Chains A and B, each alone.
Chain A
């Protein structure tokens, strides 16, 4: 059983389009995250949600809008896509208790903006 899943795995689109990436976790975790890994392989946090509420929003353009319909889902919607948005986007989740020792990552969504 996949613990953290993302769809789609690959996304190729034109500049200016709007796209969404979906994430679901079946671990019963309270907190979910979106990370971005750019072409230089740096992995950086974008957003963090706890029980459907936004708790961390790093310096990310407001074209990026996360939405958490319930505790198990955290979707990422991107408006007016730009070339620089090309990256791999990882969703992750962690339990609320025990210091968040482990964060469980999804397989990633590779976004290519042409």
Chain B
């Protein structure tokens, strides 16, 4: 079972920042937060991951609260192509070959 809770859907205006929240109140000390997204009719795509520090890459930023019980994925300038289902996943770092456990995710709709 997924260990995370996400809102089922969100809207965002094109060009604005999309902030996608995730609750993971039972996260353990050696578990990381991973984000994936699934654009319609495609396979899931890795976005970013983090342990306790904020992370940024070319796709997004990840903000993790100090108590690590929640996090926010930020798409700084959402485009129509960012419309997708976003999945927040927690998993141990050293479980290299462990499959991902997907929850229901958040369906983000970017509106022109």
Residue of A whose beta carbon sits closest to that of B34: A101
Residue of B whose beta carbon sits closest to that of A46: B99
Query: Interface size (B, Cβ < 8 Å)?
Result: 23
Q: Note all chain B residues with C-beta closer than 8 A to A104.
A: 46
A-B contact count (CB 8 A): 61
Taken residue by residue from 77 to 93, chain B's Cβ proximity to chain A (1 for < 8 Å, 0 otherwise) reads as 00000000100000011
B46 contacts which of A48, A102, A108 (Cβ < 8 Å)? A102
Do B102 and A103 touch (CB < 8 A)?
Answer: no
Name A residues whose Cβ lies closer than 8 Å to a Cβ of B. 4, 30-31, 33, 35, 41-45, 48, 50, 55-56, 90, 92, 94-108
Do B96 and A98 touch (CB < 8 A)?
Answer: yes
A1 to chain B, nearest CB (A): 16
Interface residues of B: mostly helix, strand, loop or mixed? loop
Q: A30-B97, A45-B101 are in contact. List 17 more A-B contacts (CB 8 A).
A: A42-B102, A43-B44, A43-B102, A45-B99, A48-B99, A56-B99, A94-B96, A95-B96, A98-B96, A99-B94, A99-B95, A100-B95, A100-B97, A103-B99, A105-B44, A107-B42, A108-B41
Do B100 and A103 touch (CB < 8 A)?
Answer: yes
Do B99 and A35 touch (CB < 8 A)?
Answer: yes
A90 contacts which of B34, B43, B46, B93 (Cβ < 8 Å)? B43
Q: Note all chain A residues with C-beta closer than 8 A to B32.
A: 99
Do A4 and B97 touch (CB < 8 A)?
Answer: no
Q: Note all chain B residues with C-beta closer than 8 A to A107.
A: 42-43
Q: Note all chain A residues with C-beta closer than 8 A to B100.
A: 45, 103
Do A108 and B97 touch (CB < 8 A)?
Answer: no
